[in-house]
């Protein structure tokens, strides 16, 4: 059974800093890995999706990497802004009979102005 | 393009009462998911539909939870009777096909007193 762990659970940094969020998964036989953002009282917004054949994906100031062999993914946020404050969730999709995502508990990020 | 619509946004009930949630997926999306997100946790898949058929409901507590997707479009999730531990945000997601990026609604926050 796939398990996803995110470290740290919470992070607070001054505006302008670069930061890294970590995600690890127990079953390396994943189909893809996805990073989401969740704002209070709102649903999840997909940020980046990395297919199992890819090593990284970039969107603006965000860069996500995937290392299947070590069961790890990182989300790098460059030049953080107060608007980046949210909870970031990673989710692994393992394929098979169903398509449900296995989520980590998330990292609650606060960017101090 | 309209997103995934869910209603109600909030619901407060007493234990042993019944409650129903409604989801309207993005037009043309064949796959629909219901997730349960307990405070401080990542979302957990409850049930997945492909058109109006169930793909996976292995984590749905079938003694009290039920879901249907008539005509392969809208879906309802029902809890009867509710327990205190059912307090959570219930998220609906849809995807164009299997497997594909999942788009999430804003969720329904349920409080069971």
Condensed to tens digits (0 to 9), the pLDDT of residues B9-66 reads 999 999 999 999 999 999 999 999 999 999 989 999 999 999 889 998 999 999 999 9
Instruction: Give the E-state strand segments of B1-113 in sequence order.
Output: 5-7, 10-13, 19-24, 31-37, 44-50, 53-56, 65-68, 75-79, 88-95, 103-104, 108-112
CA B58 to chain centre: 14
Alpha-carbon distance of B12 to B46, in angstroms, equals 21
Q: For B40, left (φ over 0), alpha (ψ -120 to 50), or beta?
A: left
The mean per-residue pLDDT over the stretch A2-13 comes to 94
Residue in chain B lying closest to A102 (CA): B44
Residue in chain A lying closest to B106 (CA): A43
Confidence label for B99 from pLDDT (cuts 50, 70 and 90): low
- Residue A29: asked if its preceding bond is cis (omega within 30°), the reply is no
For residue A96, pLDDT beyond 70: no
B104 vs A97: CB contact, 8 Å cut-off? no
A43 vs B102: CB contact, 8 Å cut-off? no
Tell whether A33 is within 8 A of chain B (Cβ).
no
B58 vs A98: CB contact, 8 Å cut-off? yes
Average pLDDT over chain B, rounded to an integer:
93
For chain B, report the end-to-end CA distance as a whole number of angstroms.
Answer: 37
Cβ neighbours around A68 below 10 Å, total: 18
For residue A13, pLDDT beyond 90: yes
Looking at residue A97, what is its pLDDT?
62
Residue in chain A lying closest to B91 (CA): A43
Q: Is the dihedral of CA B57, A38, A94, B31 positive or negative?
A: positive
Looking at residue B101, what is its pLDDT?
81
Alpha-carbon distance of B87 to A65, in angstroms, equals 34
Looking at residue A68, what is its pLDDT?
92
Among B66, B70, B58, smallest CA distance to B82 is for: B66
Alpha-carbon distance of B108 to B40, in angstroms, equals 16
Best mutation target among B8, B39, B42 (most A Cβ atoms within 10 Å) is B42
Q: Which residues of A touch B104 (CB under 8 A)?
A: 36, 43-45
Interface of A with B in 35-64 (CB under 8 A): 36, 41-46, 49
Provide the shortest C-alpha distance from residue B70 to chain A (in Å): 20
For residue A92, pLDDT beyond 80: yes
């Amino acid at each position: 059974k796939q398990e996803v762990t995110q470290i740290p659970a919470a992070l607070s940094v001054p505006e302008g800093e670069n930061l890294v969020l970590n995600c690890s998964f127990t079953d390396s036989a994943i189909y893809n890995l996805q990073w989401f953002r969740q704002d209070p009282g709102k649903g999840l917004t997909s940020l980046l999706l990395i297919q199992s054949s890819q090593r990284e994906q970039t969107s603006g100031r965000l860069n996500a990497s995937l290392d299947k062999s070590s069961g790890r993914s990182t989300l790098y946020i460059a030049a953080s802004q107060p608007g980046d404050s949210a909870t970031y969730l990673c989710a692994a999709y393992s394929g098979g009979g169903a398509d449900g995502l296995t989520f980590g508990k998330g990292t609650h990020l606060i960017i101090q102005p | 393009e309209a997103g995934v619509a869910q209603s109600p946004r909030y619901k407060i009930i007493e234990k042993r009462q019944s409650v129903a949630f409604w989801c309207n997926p993005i037009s043309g999306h064949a796959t629909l998911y219901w997730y349960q997100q307990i405070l401080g946790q990542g979302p957990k898949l409850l049930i997945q539909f492909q058109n109006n058929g169930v793909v996976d409901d292995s984590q749905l507590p079938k003694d009290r939870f039920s879901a249907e997707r008539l005509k392969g479009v809208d879906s309802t999730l029902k809890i009867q009777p509710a327990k205190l531990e059912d307090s959570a945000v219930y998220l609906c997601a849809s995807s164009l096909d299997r497997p594909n990026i999942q788009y999430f609604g804003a969720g329904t926050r349920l409080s069971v007193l």
